[in-house]
Structure 1
Amino acid sequence: MLNKEIPTSSAPQKGPSSINDASSYHPSPSAWEDQQLYFLLPDRFSNNSEDGSLDPSGKPVQGSIRAFKPDDAANAIKPPANAQDWVDSGVAWQGGDLQGIKSKLGYLKRLGVTAVWVGPIFKQVPSEKSSYHGYAIQDFLEIDPHFGTREDLRDLVKSAHEQGIYVILDIILNHSGNVFAYTGEQPGRDKPWTGQQYDVEGFRDSKGQPTLPYQPLDPNNLPKEARDCAIWPAELQGQDTFTREGAISNWDYWPEFLRGDFLSLKDIELGRDDPDVFAPTPALKTLCEVYKYWIAYADLDGYRIDTVKHMGDGPTRHLCTTLHEYACSIGKENFFLVGEVTGGRAFDTVEATGLDAALGIGNVQQNLWNLPKGNVDPTAYFDLFRNATFLKKGSHAWMRNKVVTMIDDHDQVWRGESKERFCFGQNGSELCLAALALNLTTLGIPCIYYGTEQQFDGQGNSDRYIRETMFGGSFGAFRSKDRHFFDEANTVFQEVAKITQLRNEYAALRRGRQYLREISGNGKDFGLPRKLGETMKSIVAWSRVFADQEVLCAINTDTENWTKAFVTIDDGLHAEGDKLKCSYRSPTDGDRTVADEVEVEGINGKAVELSVPPSGFVIYA
């Protein structure tokens, strides 16, 4: 059945082997903090037509889309091109697919990626013309044809595993697409949340009109194009599947943020928030079966769970328990569940629900983004990982595998309506490597958002502007079209590859404790670097310590000048006269070079003198 037919029900299905034959499934990694993640939106990544890009063996391939050159910048908005066409195409399907992702596994591997997080790929509401993002699901048991087939998904995962890359799939439980209409609903205007249920006019048909009764479809009298109608699997067609209370207006008001629709996306009734008095609803049980099915069918390694804040702790705990137990039963002992938890409860939610980690959005991402630009004191970022009272942990190393950290992402919740990739403005392109280095070598599971390694600089008043295409299409990066960006000669790409290799070599960079280090310009007066004036131009240094090994890292937030400072190191691990050797330095061009080694001096306990190039990054060990 799995190879020939699309399931209509969430009834248990066999995957590539019997549940008792765990040997045929790909095992989980022993530790997710050892992994390097990469997040991509399938529609915006690759369509397997990029001329001159390199295959997994490193050989150039032929294709119809030429590589981007500097002169191609803004070719989509300069006359005679119509700039509005480029803007409008940003909310339309571009053509990236699963086969395209497979074709770029070599690119990802050479970057140092060991786990790829793929945005949602399930079948979208067919009448919605701007659901390229994948978050408006109409059929949870089928792949959207824009992306390919179920077989393409299985083939991608198998090929990724052969390259040593795990696959994490983005999933949604909180809501479906806009699969029904409220009675009296006006086009383009969402019914506001009131706490009371609205009447439903009907399920939407294949053309998006609410012409079908709000009840399970009759299997003996199905409408035309039935799989494009209502919602699937069939168990979700019951009247009690949805809360039906209208769209959220106040995103922080309980219970509105739990029970309201996510704009036009319809909220699914999952059960009570309190995990101690929780019973799963039929809809939640169905979705658990759905996502068990996909684990088995495609041999997946983890899920990123969307909008966890809006699900509540009770449903999230039930989901985590169900999926962890099922994955364990087929040999995936460390199946990864990472939740998108907006607001201030990320770590509490991890503890309460059994999530393996939370996305480092909000303050973590905001300060990681601002620190290399000198916009905040370094403590604003590093103190988020300290033994803060609210964490109640014995060591801040607890954070090493509880948070996924990234500079850019696809919606930048913390920025509100103004969206802006790191490389836009304020020396972002010059500081891109320093920012990625900070991300790759500080606590947490690091993740690169597609295009950051190519210095994408999208900016605008909606999410579309930070979702440029890697393969060209009509909405390419740098306001371009018809040019691809798989440039492995890009300096940032090459240097990130070196840093990820060092992260793999040094356990301290993956699992060690973390300390922001005091610095001094004269070797006498030490203190933590601070922002003075509009921006901070300084060395920012930190240590990762694991067992008896210290790895010292430092960036320079000054984009124009070399910066020199004495940097404190662990007093007990070093003796005066010891040498720390340089493991990494960038940039390396110009007349001045970073010292091959530095000598430990007996000041402020112990310290070494570092000299870091403009926008530079160094590692000593």
Structure 2
Amino acid sequence: MSENGIPSFGAGTASNPRSVNDPSVRNVLSQAPSQRGQYHPSPSSWEDQQLYFLLPDRFSKGGEDGTLDLEGKQIPGDIRPFAQSDNGNAIKLPNDPKIWEESGIVFQGGTLKGIQSKVGYLKRLGASALWLGPIFKQVPNDDHLYHGYAVHDFLEIDPHFGTREDLRDLVKIAHDEGIYVILDIILNHSGDVFAYKGGEKQWNGNRFDVEGFRDSTGNPTLRFQPLDATNLPKNPKDCAIWPAELQSPNSFTREGAISNWDNWPEYIRGDFLSLKDLDLGSDAPDNFAPTSALQTLCEVYKYWIAYADLDGYRIDTVKHMGDGPTRHLCTTLHEFASLIGKENFFLVGEVTGGRAFDVVETTGLDAALGIGNVQEKLWNLPKGFADPAAYFDLFRNATYLKKGTNAWMRNKLVTMIDDHDQVWRGGSTKTRFCSDPEGNKLVLAALGLNLTTLGIPCIYYGTEQQFDGQGGSDRYIREAMFGGSFGAFRSKDRHFFNESNPVFQEVSKICEIRQQYAALRRGRQYLREISGNGKDFGIPRILGGRLTAIVAWSRIFADQEILCAINTDTEKPTEAFVTLDNGLHKNGEVLKCIYRSPTDEGVESRESVAVSRLNGKAVFLSVPAGGFVMYT
């Protein structure tokens, strides 16, 4: 028995540690500071990065024929590339649609080695930071846990994805190609590792009795206490929960599942559906005392930073952790990362509800995910269903402006048009941006808006291949990029790593330009007034059912202004006078076009525009239908 009351299981192995006190874990943590110079340094600023988010089970398993390696050479494989004739090839027979749909909620076969084989694809797209969905060992005997959020062993990689060595190899190759790696982690809950007496419970403010920990077959036959090292059950690593420190009953709140997701303290103390809530301590940040469970998880995640040379974490369900545990975690991880030379280790939180800004300020998170009204407006603005001001007013360049109401600095928010949850839609139909014909016509405008406005931009896997995500629930926006039995566009056995896709190619160009101009990454941001006649200027807004107009904005850094504009009209080019900064330009000065898409024949392409004395200063722009342009 150890000093903390946890049974001693003997020394685990480097590939299979059982406790945060195993020598293999302690050695990594103790030696890390002396190896400071060997770790990959943090970027100076995360707003300089372009993130790419993927679910490991749904991205790649390797063997995709005709894909390109790091040097751009074709790789042979047994999975053929998708062709338009393959659209719907999984639902041809009467019973096929049901089979295809049901396959969307089980493991498809993506691996860490598969992701490693696509580092060249990511680099050529323009991604400079890779965000991986969770990869830790899931509760055994449940094929529905492909998403990775039902952790059973926080010290082990799920065998569906590979090994801890595979993770380290992936990070090393990504670093060699200039790509940082951010890992999705969970602290709020574990998987369904125990059962309540009498069945599942709903939260009512009381603690419930527990039947027992689940054994390796999933039945709650084990006593709800740390496993006896002298009398271990069959297949112990598939039993209870690991590391061993979490087997204490005090690791769990045991108060049943949340029913009211906004009722305090229910959303802090309750289980996340069947996922069992871990007791991390009081949600109040002042005079906070971490629980043993939180201390254990902090050791776990320090270990993975040092072992795999990770660059950041995306922290799941921060709202349900509470500010106290989140602040303790952020302080602990930032200090450890700094100790080994990662001075800007990135901690981004999934903060649902309306407190995201306050949580970032209070806890020490570096940023929050813009998954609520930010994503909603970012999605609807290019499609003409949101006033431009509704999106741009969410951002401010000083924290004192609109504080507490989604006022964000440039590096405090991760923005994306697609993701794996779409929490802003609530219970309504969930689809990807390209789920309708208008989305396909406007996806470059949307990605241009995402990549060149304030925030840290992120592309969700498949958006660059125009996945539609049609179906109605989360499963349909989690298609297998490598095909499998649940490929995009209701297909199977066809991969989508098509670097000839015009959207892929144009995103690559936009990302390259973003890296060339600091204003697009760090500049102040201004929504610009426009005019059709050169006299009457104003911010465009919806008049009727849908906005069809030029939407223009400037990014200004020092004395450089870059003017960006999209056209929400998908049928025809649109022209307008667009306001510039009056003090930065002279009458007659010429701005050059640094990006224009699409470049259809018959549409006038203006390589340069002259500044005139209108509304202070302005230029006359012509933006292609559904297009995106940039001038400087």
- The TM-score range, normalised by the shorter chain, is over 0.9
Give the 3-state SS of the residue equivalent to 1:303 in structure 2. strand
**Partners of 2:187 and 2:385 in 1: CA distance:** 37
Instruction: Tell me what 1:43 maps to.
Output: 57
Q: Check if 1:581 corresponds to 2:592.
A: yes
Residue 225 of structure 2 corresponds to 215
Work out the CA distance in 2 between the residues paired with 1:4 and 1:284. Answer: 23
Cα distance in structure 2, aligned partners of 1:85 and 1:221: 43
1:260 matched to 2:274? The reply is no
Look up the match of 2:423: 413
Aligned equivalents of 1:330 and 1:368: distance in 2? Answer: 37
Q: CA deviation at 1:401?
A: 0.5
Pairing partner for 2:604 from 582, 593, 598: 593
Contact 1:387–1:393 at 8 Å: present in 2 too?
Answer: no
Structure 1 CA distance for aligned equivalents of residues 622 and 422 of structure 2: 34
Tell me the residue number matched to 1:14.
27
SS in 2 for 1:375: coil
Residue number in structure 2 paired with 1:563: 574
Q: Is the 8 A contact 1:110 1:497 kept in 2?
A: yes
CA contact (8 A) 2:587 2:611 kept: yes
Maintained 8 Å contact 1:54/1:60: yes
Cα drift, residue 49 of structure 1: 1.2
Structure 1 residues 227 and 550: alpha-carbon distance in aligned structure 2, compared to 1, 3 A threshold: same
Whole-angstrom distance in 2 between the partners of 1:322 and 1:565 = 52
TM superposition shift of 1:389: 8.3
Range that drifts further, 459-468 or 405-414: 459-468
Give the structure 2 partner of residue 489 of structure 1. Answer: 500
Asked whether the 8 Å contact 1:14–1:296 carries over to 2, the reply is no
Q: CA deviation at 1:387?
A: 5.7
Contact 2:189 2:272 survives alignment (8 Å): yes
1:76-127 CA distances to partner (integer Å, 9 max, x unpaired)? 1122661100000000100000000000000000000000000000000012
Identity %: 72
* Alignment counterpart, residue 518 of structure 1, candidates 514, 524, 529: 529
Post-superposition Cα deviations, 1:491-545, rounded to whole Å, max 9, x if no partner, equal 0000000000000000000000000000000000000000111110000000000
Contact 1:410 1:467 in 2 (8 A): yes
Question: Which residue is equivalent to 1:328?
Answer: 338
Query: 2:305 aligned with 1:295, yes or no?
Result: yes
- Picking from 162, 168, 186, the partner of 1:172 is 186
8 Å CA contact 1:420, 1:460 repeated in 2: yes
Residue 57 of structure 1: how far off its partner (Å): 0.7
Deviation at 1:14, TM superposition (A): 3.1
Runs of 4+ residues over 2 Å off in structure 1: 1-5, 11-18, 386-394
**1:400 paired to 2:414:** no
Distance in 2 (alpha carbons) for counterparts of 1:313 and 1:484: 42
Q: Secondary structure at the match of 2:295?
A: helix
Correspondences of 1:307-318 after superposition (within 5 Å): 307-318=317-328
The answer as to whether partners of 1:109 and 1:165 remain within 8 angstroms in 2 is: yes
SS in 1 for 2:410: helix
Shift, 1:426, TM fit: 5.2
Are the aligned partners of 1:440 and 1:446 in contact in 2 as well (CA < 8 Å)? yes
Task: Map Cα deviations across residues 228-284 of structure 1 (whole Å, 9 max, x no partner).
Answer: 000000000001101011111111111111111000000000001110131100000
Would you say the 8 A contact 1:397–1:512 is kept in 2?
no
2:101 aligned partner? 87
1:217 shift after superposition: 0.3
1:237 and 2:247 are equivalent in the alignment: yes
Judge conservation of contact 1:231–1:237 (CA < 8 Å) in 2.
yes
Per-residue deviation, residues 137-196 of structure 1 (Å, max 9, x unmatched): 0000000000000110011101110111000000000000000000000xxxx4211110
Structure 2: runs of 5+ lacking an equivalent: 1-10
Q: Is contact 2:397–2:524 with CA below 8 Å preserved after alignment? A: no
| Contact in 1 for aligned 2:571/2:625 (Cα 8 Å) | yes
Alignment-mate amino acid for residue 602 of structure 1:
R
Per the alignment, in what secondary structure is the counterpart of residue 33 of structure 2? Answer: coil
Q: Residue 75 of structure 2: which of 58, 61, 65 is its match?
A: 61
Quote the Cα distance in structure 2 between the aligned partners of 1:577 and 1:243. 69
- Indicate if the aligned counterparts of 1:202 and 1:210 stay in contact, CA closer than 8 A: yes
How far is 1:460 from its partner? Answer: 2.5
In structure 2, the partner of 1:508 is 519
Paired residues of 1:399 and 1:444 also in contact (CA < 8 A): yes
Q: Shift of residue 449 of structure 1?
A: 0.2
Is the alpha carbon distance of 1:555 and 1:39 closer, same or farther for their aligned partners in structure 2, counting shifts above 3 Å?
same
CA distance in 2, matches of 1:176, 1:473: 28
Q: Which deviates the most, 535-544 or 10-19?
A: 10-19
2:140/2:238 contact within 8 Å kept:
yes
Would you say the 8 A contact 2:398–2:409 is kept in 1?
Answer: no
3-state SS of the aligned residue for 1:315?
A: helix
DSSP 3-state at the match of 1:169: strand
Work out whether 1:273 is the aligned partner of 2:283: yes
Contact 1:307–1:340 at 8 Å: present in 2 too? yes
Question: 8 Å contact 2:432–2:468 — kept in the other structure?
Answer: yes
Structure 2 counterpart of 1:227: 237
Q: In structure 1, what is the Cα distance between the partners aligned to 2:144 and 2:465?
A: 26
Give me the whole-angstrom Cα distance separating, in 1, the residues matched to 2:369 and 2:475. Answer: 21
Tell me by how many angstroms 1:393 deviates.
Answer: 6.7
Q: Is the 8 A contact 1:397 1:511 kept in 2?
A: no
Change (3 A) 1:542 1:62: same
Once residues 387 and 73 of structure 1 are traced to their aligned partners in structure 2, the CA distance between those partners, rounded to angstroms, is 45
Task: Write the letter of the residue equivalent to 1:25.
Answer: Y
Partner of 1:604: 615
Query: Are the structure 2 counterparts of residues 515 and 277 from structure 1 closer, same or farther at C-alpha, using a change threshold of 3 Å?
Result: same
Residue of structure 2 in register with 1:138 after alignment: 152
Q: Assess, with a 3 A threshold, how the Cα gap between structure 1 residues 291 and 14 changes in structure 2: closer, same or farther.
A: same
Q: Partner amino acid for 1:525?
A: D
| 1:586–1:613 Cα contact (<8 Å) kept | yes
Task: Check conservation: 1:141, 1:232, Cα contact below 8 A.
Answer: yes
For the Cα contact (< 8 Å) 1:91–1:132, is it kept in 2?
yes
SS in 1 for 2:156: strand
Q: Which residue of 2 aligns with 1:545?
A: 556
SS in 2 for 1:565: strand
**Paired letter, 1:484:** H
State how far apart, in whole Å, the 1-side matches of 2:407 and 2:610 are.
28
Contact 2:375 2:415 in 1 (8 A): yes
Cα shift at 1:372: 0.3
Note if contact 1:14-1:297 (Cα within 8 Å) is conserved in structure 2: no
CA deviation profile, 1:296-346 (whole Å, cap 9, x unmatched) = 100000000000000000000000000000000001110000000001111
1:371-415 per-residue CA deviation (whole Å, 9 max, x = no partner) reads 000001001100000368875679x99621000000000010011
Contact 1:421/1:458 (CA < 8 Å) preserved in 2? yes
How do 1:198-209 and structure 2 match up within 5 A?
A: 198-209=208-219
Question: TM-score scaled to structure 1, two decimals?
Answer: 0.97
Contact 2:377 2:391 in 1 (8 A): yes
Unmatched tracts of structure 1, length 5 or more: none
Contact 1:397 1:513 in 2 (8 A): no
TM-score by length of 2: 0.96
Contact 2:357 2:407 in 1 (8 A): no
User: Residue 412 of structure 2 aligns to which amino acid in structure 1?
Assistant: K
Amino acid at match of 1:162: D
Cα deviation digits, residues 13-57 of structure 1 (max 9, x gap): 233954222011111111100000000000000000100011111
1:161 corresponding residue in structure 2: 175
| Matched residue type, 1:520 | S
Alignment partner of 1:129 is 2:143: yes
Q: Specify the code of the residue in structure 1 equivalent to 2:314.
A: R
Once residues 591 and 353 of structure 2 are traced to their aligned partners in structure 1, the CA distance between those partners, rounded to angstroms, is 41
